[in-house]
Amino acid sequence: MSKQISVVVPLYNEEESLGELTAWIDRVMQANGFAYEVIMIDDGSRDSSWSVVERLAAENSAIRGIRFSRNYGKSAALYCGFDAAEGDVVITMDADLQDSPDEIPALYRMITEEGYDMVSGWKRKRHDPIGKTLPSKFFNATCRVVSGIRLNDFNCGLKAYRRQVVKSIEVFGEMHRYIPILAKQAGFGKIGEKVVEHRARPYGVSKYGWERMIKGYLDLITVMFLTRFGRSPMYFFGGTGTVMFLVGGITALWVIIDKLVKQSAGIAVRAVTDQPLFFVALLAVVLGTVLFLAGFLGELINRNSPDRNNYKIDKTI
């Protein structure tokens, strides 16, 4: 029997919560008659999480496990989970019991009945300290402005996807925060949102610190650049370089002409090489040239890439 739902659960040092989480998922699935699988990805845990996963898999054939030899991060865990998922709908949730499996049936219906490609959870009421909630609000507001996707909570771990979505995107680095942007870029534009319950963490401590905000914004710049200029880097580097070259060249020429005009009129003026503006103009010319060459090299590399014409075809007749 084909699986209706794949639940992908990245985990890192969550030995206390895994048994309770899988039992809760199983109750929800049995109550709704879903054919399902749970894929647990141990991201290099240093506690006994993997031993717990092995025991749970032996007790329940619906549970599968993937273990990393070291800690690679949540994006890597999601990538491997997506690759292994066989269900028509893929649900992601954290292993710390802050996401409620009771949300799964509604998320599943939004994908299968309402036609969404992806549904992101929105933790409207959060059980987190203000040191996490305020930066999160600012981060989400920035993502909305930059991406044009009207979501209130980009980073919520509880999400649902049509199977084709997870098979069409590549999550790497720290890009798990921007899966909605990656999905939109891949052609899946019907992205919805559902208010979900956010529960207080019953065990352990959060694995994320303040540094994730810095990484988050750097990754946002990366993902926006890749989605807009990944296949045509010349548009960005070449365009910026050309503007800088022209501005620098015109400024340097103006400095030289201004000196010659004033000198011919008998007005004492400083030498061109004594004027800081001249050297600023030369710097702009050099940087413009370097940026243009960077764009040109990027185009050469892109043209010779083996997947330059790797287009995702939805249907053929």
Report d(CA 208, CA 147) in Å as an integer.
Answer: 24
On whether the CB atoms of residues 216 and 174 are closer than 8 A, the answer is yes
Give me the phi and psi of 192, to 5 degrees please: -110, 180
Going through the chain in order, the beta strands assigned E by DSSP cover: 5-11, 36-42, 63-67, 89-92, 118-122, 159-162, 191-195
Helix (H) or strand (E) holding 288: helix 276-303
| Burial bucket for residue 240 (CB in 10 Å: 0-12, 13-18, 19+) | middle
At residue 200, the pLDDT reads: 76
Laid out side by side, the sheet with 36-42 consists of 63-67, 36-42, 5-11, 89-92, 159-162, 118-122, 191-195
At residue 61, the pLDDT reads: 93
On whether the CB atoms of residues 208 and 108 are closer than 8 A, the answer is no
At residue 2, the pLDDT reads: 79
Q: What is the pTM of this model?
A: 0.74
Contacts of residue 17, defined as CB under 8 A and 6 or more positions apart, other chains included, come to 95, 96, 97, 202, 203, 204
At residue 190, the pLDDT reads: 93
Q: What is the pLDDT along the chain (317 residues), one digit of tens a residue?
A: 679 999 999 999 999 999 999 999 999 999 999 999 999 999 999 999 999 999 999 999 999 999 999 999 898 999 999 999 999 999 999 999 999 999 999 999 999 999 999 999 998 877 666 656 676 777 778 788 877 888 888 888 899 999 999 999 888 777 888 889 889 888 898 999 999 988 877 776 665 555 666 766 677 777 777 667 766 788 888 889 999 999 999 999 999 998 888 888 888 778 888 888 999 999 999 999 999 999 888 888 777 766 555 545 555 55
Report d(CA 59, CA 306) in Å as an integer.
Answer: 44
At residue 308, the pLDDT reads: 55
